[in-house]
Amino acid sequence: MIKAPRPANEAGRLRVLQALDLFNSVDGAVFQREVDILRRVFGVPTALMALADETHQRFIAVHGLPMREIARDLAICSHALLPPFAPLVIADTQCDGRTQHSFLVTEHGIRFYAGAPLVLDGEFAVGTLCIMDTQPRGLDADAITLLHDFALRLSATLQTMMDARRLVAEKKPLVAMGQELQAILQTAAIGIVRIDAGGIIEVANPCAERLFGYTQPEL
């Protein structure tokens, strides 16, 4: 089997994968449904969605294979991670040097492969969505476009998830600062008040309440 080279942006790709944090933080049921639909649409026995970390291809959702991960250097999908980020179709894996000695071919009888990359931030292929069959076959242009559309839809889902995690991470320092300031306000030995433009007291800490002899609502 010819090993796929690492993408030129591998370091950045791994950082994006880490930011996505999908291995430990998501219920895979939604992705499993997509994979099951994909398998039925294309009429194949095997379909999967996988993400590729530094050493392994890990299956987020799979139908038709007994394992949940394989070494990245042994994964056919590794070839689909490379530019130009177009679907990779191998009509007969036994006739392609990239795949003919893969254990998926020799031990699991995979003869057909088609995979489309899952691309985030417009430049990082973090994984693949693929279909496989035990018989050689081809895909016409419409079928290839359909596979690509499935991958684009899942890529958009992953992008939304990652953007949300990034937003939470960006807000964490602000939340921590707010909590610290609130603790200072509540425990300060001096009276602290905040007054709006109309002269109305909006906030008063406990010390200010004691000094004035009123609670904040009364102030």
- Cα(first)–Cα(last) distance of the chain, in Å? 78
Q: How many domains does the chain fold into? A: 2
Query: Are residues 205 and 115 part of one domain?
Result: no
Query: Are residues 197 and 153 part of one domain?
Result: no
Query: Are residues 204 and 144 part of one domain?
Result: no
In this prediction, residue 219 carries a pLDDT of 55
Query: Are residues 158 and 87 part of one domain?
Result: yes
In this prediction, residue 174 carries a pLDDT of 66
Print pLDDT tens along the chain (219 aa).
Answer: 788 999 999 999 999 999 888 877 666 788 999 999 999 999 999 999 999 999 999 999 999 999 999 999 999 999 999 999 999 999 999 999 999 999 999 999 999 999 999 999 999 999 999 999 999 999 999 999 999 999 999 999 999 999 988 787 676 666 566 676 677 667 776 777 677 777 777 777 777 777 776 666 655
Neighbour-count burial for 51-83, b at 16+ CB within 10 Å, e otherwise = bbbeebbbbbbbbbbeeebbebeebbbbbbbbe
Q: Is residue 51 part of a domain?
A: yes
CA distances from 133 to 39, 45, 105, 142, 165 (A): 10, 6, 10, 18, 36
pTM: 0.77
In this prediction, residue 190 carries a pLDDT of 73
In this prediction, residue 211 carries a pLDDT of 72
Q: Is residue 176 part of a domain?
A: no
Longest Cα separation, the chain: 88
Query: Are residues 91 and 26 part of one domain?
Result: yes
Query: Are residues 212 and 159 part of one domain?
Result: no
* Domain containing residue 192: 188-219
In this prediction, residue 168 carries a pLDDT of 78
Q: Is residue 99 part of a domain?
A: yes
Query: Are residues 199 and 99 part of one domain?
Result: no
Query: Are residues 130 and 51 part of one domain?
Result: yes
The CATH number for 87's domain is: 3.30.450.40
In this prediction, residue 175 carries a pLDDT of 58
Of the candidates 132, 123, 165, 114, the one whose C-alpha atom is nearest the C-alpha of residue 47 is: 132
Neighbour-count burial for 186-206, b at 16+ CB within 10 Å, e otherwise = eeeeeeebeeeeeeebeebbe
In this prediction, residue 115 carries a pLDDT of 98
Strands 201-204, 193-195: pairing is antiparallel
Query: Are residues 124 and 40 part of one domain?
Result: yes
Query: Are residues 160 and 74 part of one domain?
Result: yes
Query: Are residues 95 and 131 part of one domain?
Result: yes
Query: Are residues 32 and 129 part of one domain?
Result: yes
